Amino acid sequence: MKFGGTSVGNANQIRRVAEIVKANLDRSPAVVVSAVGGITNKFFALKELLLQPSKRVEAAAKREEILNVHREILKDLSLSEDLVEPLFKEFEDLNRGMWLIRECTPRTMDYFVSFGERLSSRIVAAHLDSIGIPAQAFEAPDIGMITDDNFGGAKPLPGYERRIQEALTGIDKVPVITGYIGKCQIDKERTAITTLGRGGSDYTAALFGAALGAEEIQIWTDVDGVLTADPRIVEDAYCLKKLSFKEASELAFYGAKVLHPSTMNPARQHGISIRVLNTNRPEYEGTQIVESLGAEDLTLKSVTAKKDVVVVNVIASPMLDQYGFMKKISDVFSDHKVIIDMIATSEVSVSMSTDQNVDLDPVVKKLKEFSEEVEVKGDKCIVSVVGQLLGERRGIAAKVLEIIHEEAIPVDMISYGATRINFSFITGQEYSRKAIKCLHDALFKN
Ligand code: ADP
Ligand code: ASP
Ligand code: MG
């Protein structure tokens, strides 16, 4: 049972979480928690302040704000601050260190943000205990979550299942585990905290669920389940009863924030279904994510958008009649650990899209060595319509293009792969909301 940021966002929400856990005690739950809602963003904001000498006062205020959010929850739940005092102290030491050296490497940043989940797990475990549900807080790095050293986007090393099982064998209290974090080995003696990427607590839950042979992996959040669109953009988006793993992976990868994109992998490998549920409406069945769908569930599922996308155009002619040209291009991206989201080719150019927030300069420099020209166009978004039905019902792609043409939304690139589960196109970021709204109106209303 994974509870996200808003689900543990204040004392009342934590009480709700405890009620939900209590109602499921006969199923021996393991609990995974995110940081208190908004806290991880505050860490990122604080980091920026700590790096600027002129922001001393603002940095101190932001740090106090973070501590106070937790103090208030502890007070509301009648828990002692002693519970988190050692973590507060460690956090303040780290603040001082970052302030002094005015530097924050990805490794330091992962350590910095880890306090969010480390604090929330202790608070939730203590609250469960205080209402008579024996519980124990665990930091995932201490119970088998050993990862690679890709700070900010780490993956567990093979064998995580056995390590986690061994660590939790014989624990009869409800484990309350930190989402989002793991640790890697730096050398013989030293380890460092890693994170699995923003929103990574969902992934943690799936990894623990898989390791423990769970009956189901539950993602408890602030909406009814996976909806036909982000309800913050489309008011009348509705909840889907069932999704396939493939559909959910596509949706998550292409922007639906409700699930971290890697969540489906361990669940799928171990044949465990996922259920997305609403902490504020626990009686509702939510969305079940399974391997294969019955005929009645073969419908269009959702429209989503991934923002902060950049398009890289590599121009070189002639190109496609040369062996290995695509390999040369993709090697450059993989050598620099840059993930390609979408790709389109012609005889004279290859267009690829990737995340705008990665440093593309070394990639572009390398690509220029064997092409005529490399263009980089930022502030784009990928809009995707997802559903296994896409391949079976003719005309959906045409309809999507017709609608966006009518709405005067320009198209930079299109992708419609052989599995026909996702029709995507790239447009300017400023069209993102409009595209989602008009596609939802046209494709999902009836
Ligand atoms: P948590 O803190 O519980 O992990 P997140 O904020 O990460 O919650 O994810 C839940 C949010 O995802 C929802 O509040 C909703 O705004 C957003 N969202 C985006 N796309 C979808 C979708 N297709 N279905 C449901 N929620 C979506
Ligand atoms: N707290 C982390 C984040 O905000 C992880 C999570 O919430 O899943 O990204
Ligand atoms: Mg999330």
Cβ of residue 226 lying under 6 Å from some atom of ligand 1: yes
At residue 418, the pLDDT reads: 66
pLDDT of residue 383 exceeding 90, the answer is yes
Arithmetic mean of pLDDT, 297-316 = 93
* Model pLDDT for residues 199-212, shown as the tens digit of each residue: 999 999 999 999 99
Average pLDDT over residues 218-241: 97
Residue 319: its pLDDT value, please? Answer: 65
What pTM does this model have? Answer: 0.95
Per-residue pLDDT band for 392 (boundaries 50, 70, 90) equals low
What is the pLDDT averaged over residues 215-226?
98
Residue from 6, 8, 41, 221 whose mutation best tests the ligand 1 pocket (most atoms within 8 A of CB): 221
Which range (7-11, 226-230, 272-276, 355-359) has the least confidence?
355-359
The answer, yes or no, to whether any atom of ligand 1 lies below 6 A from the CB of 41, is no
Question: Could you give the CA distance from residue 303 to residue 233 in angstroms, rounded to a whole number?
Answer: 11
Q: Confirm whether 2-222 and 302-443 share one CATH topology.
A: no
Over range 238-263, report the average pLDDT.
96
Using only the alpha carbons of the chain, give its radius of gyration: 23
pLDDT at 165: 97
Match 């986007």 to its residue by tokens.
Answer: 153
- Who wins on pLDDT, 435 or 392? 435
Residues with Cβ < 8 Å from 156, sequence gap 6 or more? 145, 146, 147, 182, 207
For residue 29, cis peptide bond before it (omega within 30 degrees of 0): no
Q: Is the pLDDT of residue 393 over 70?
A: no
pLDDT of 85 reads: 97
CATH code assigned to 2-222: 3.40.1160.10
Tell me whether residue 433 is exposed, middle or buried, using C-beta atoms within 10 angstroms of its C-beta: 0 to 12, 13 to 18, 19 or more.
middle
How does pLDDT run across 109-127, given as a tens digit for each residue? 999 999 999 999 999 999 9
Q: Name the CATH superfamily, with its identifier, for domain 302-443.
A: VC0802-like (3.30.2130.10)
* Mean pLDDT (the chain, rounded): 95
The pLDDT tens digits of the residues spanning 32-91 come to 999 999 999 999 999 999 999 999 999 999 999 999 999 999 999 999 999 999 999 999
Q: Say yes or no: CB of residue 227 within 6 Å of ligand 1.
A: yes
Query: Domain boundaries in the chain?
Result: 2-222, 302-443
C-beta of 233 in contact with ligand 1 (< 6 A): no
Position 443 confidence tier, pLDDT thresholds 50, 70, 90: very high
pLDDT digits (tens, 9 = 90+) for 399-415: 999 999 999 999 999 99
